[in-house]
Amino acid sequence: FILWSPFIQVFKKHRYPWIQLAGHQGNFHAGEAGSVLKKLDAREQKCFQRLMTDSLKDFVPEYRGNVEKNGETYIQLQDLLASFTQPCVMDVKMGVRTYLEAELEKARKSPTLRKDMYQKMIEVDSNAPTKEEHQQKAVTKPRYMQWRDEMSSSTELGFRVEGIKKTDGSSTKDFKKTKSRENIVDIISSFVASNEAIAAKYIKKLKEIMAAQESSSFFRSHEVVGSSLLFVHDAEENVGVWMIDFGKTESLPGDKTLDHRSQWQEGNREDGYLFGLDNVISIFEEVHTG
Ligand code: ATP
Ligand code: MG
Ligand code: MG
């Protein structure tokens, strides 16, 4: 592969380029034509298996089994970019928080201090760490993630833009401090290049996804954290939106269910996914009507 920028990875093997807007680069490889390989995570694999028989099936990449490569196991997924010509891509991470309740609990019991996360924190805001964290030159993982959620639009709006690649090849991942609705309207408007037809198609797709989620037994019975919506369109006005990344999607005990809209209080496991999707749709509607 060649690197366009620190985070855009392109597999030359394919007719079309592979674009990766988030995650560790080493986690992905080119699969057979039309597929991508993502490093296996047991929780994510289980989700994809269940999703293949759920009403959300058409809104997630097809799961095509596992593949061994250099002693590592990968899940093979449909490459969502395969049917597009020079696609524009946007990754939007959904929900009001990006850590599981289980992670929070674990950190409380045995806090692992992360120097790398402390470094990332002070690079963005040197005043963010507490006195104690400054002394330790380290923070815990949920503390870091909580801070990132508050810095961005996640806590307030229930989603954040993780990365965008436009047709001209330009790309940005620099949305860490993008928080206000106003700024996001500008970002989305620029992503669709003020194309009304594309914006309208996105709104239709988003409403279809929401309807499918609201009637999905998988969605109802899972805490969906750190999962993204992948937005893809091209100059021919082909438009698609899919749910990706189920590494932190966890099934709820017994017959517990979530509505994904109620406010999160530790213990209720609500993730604010649909609260965020309401906001995403309303922002696209604002972009569409101007
Ligand atoms: P993180 O947890 O940091 O968000 P991750 O390692 O779990 O990352 P994903 O979020 O699943 O990885 O994917 C990273 C990026 O790879 C996405 O932003 C998207 O650009 C691309 N990608 C992932 N899955 C697909 C797919 N099936 N088809 C096309 N592109 C994909
Ligand atoms: Mg992701
Ligand atoms: Mg992930």
The predicted-structure confidence for 100-128, as pLDDT tens digits, reads as follows 999 999 988 988 999 999 999 999 999 99
Calculate how far, in angstroms, residue 230's C-alpha sits from the geometric centre of ligand 1.
8
Residue 240: predicted pLDDT: 98
- Ligand 1: residue of 245, 246, 249 to mutate (most ligand atoms within 8 A of CB) is 245
Enumerate residues lining ligand 1, CB below 6 A.
19-24, 27, 36, 61, 77-81, 89, 91, 226, 228, 230, 244-245, 247
Look at residue 8 and tell me whether its pLDDT is greater than 60.
Answer: no
ipTM above 0.95, yes or no: yes
State percent of the chain over pLDDT 90: 80
Residue 230 has pLDDT above 50, yes or no: yes
Provide the pLDDT for residue 10.
53
Sign, Cα dihedral of 236, 173, 285, 225: positive
What is the dihedral sign for C-alpha 8, 205, 198, 279? negative
pLDDT above 80 for 153: yes
Give the model's pLDDT for residue 58.
Answer: 97
Measured from the alpha carbon of residue 248, the closest ligand is 3
- Phi then psi dihedrals of residue 146, to 5 deg: -60, -45
| Partners of 228 in the β-ladder | 93, 244
Whole-number mean pLDDT of the chain? 92
Window from 10-24, 110-124, 133-147 with minimum mean pLDDT? 10-24
Q: Which of 9, 20, 93 to mutate to test the pocket of ligand 1 (most atoms within 8 A of CB)?
A: 20
Q: What is the number of other CB atoms lying within 10 angstroms of the CB of residue 239?
A: 22
Ligand 1 atom nearest to 81, measured from its CA:
29
Can you tell me the distance from the alpha carbon of 265 to that of 252, in angstroms, rounded to the nearest whole number? 16
- C-alpha span between 182 and 34 (Å, rounded): 37
Q: Is the pLDDT of residue 164 over 80?
A: yes
Residue 17: band (very low, low, confident or very high) from pLDDT cuts 50, 70, 90: low
Question: Which pLDDT tens digit goes with each residue over 57-89?
Answer: 999 999 999 999 989 999 999 999 999 999 999
Residue range 185-195: mean pLDDT, rounded: 95
How far away, in angstroms, is 106 Cα from ligand 1 center? 26
pLDDT in tens, 22-39: 988 889 988 888 999 999
Q: Backbone dihedral region of 23: left (phi > 0), alpha (psi from -120 to 50 degrees) or beta?
A: left
Closest approach atom of ligand 1 to CA 24: 6
Ligand lying nearest the CA atom of residue 39: 1
- Which pLDDT score, from 0 to 100, does residue 260 have? 98
pLDDT at 5 over 50: no
Closest CA to 241 of 56, 8, 52, 41: 56
Between the alpha carbon of residue 36 and those of residues 46, 63, 170, 190, the distances in Å are: 18, 10, 23, 28
> What's residue 155's pLDDT?
97
Give the C-alpha distances (Å, rounded to integers) separating 284 from 21, 56, 93, 281, 289.
21, 22, 16, 5, 9
Q: CA 9, CA 19: separation in Å to the nearest integer?
A: 6
pLDDT at 174: 84
Residue 107's pLDDT is 86
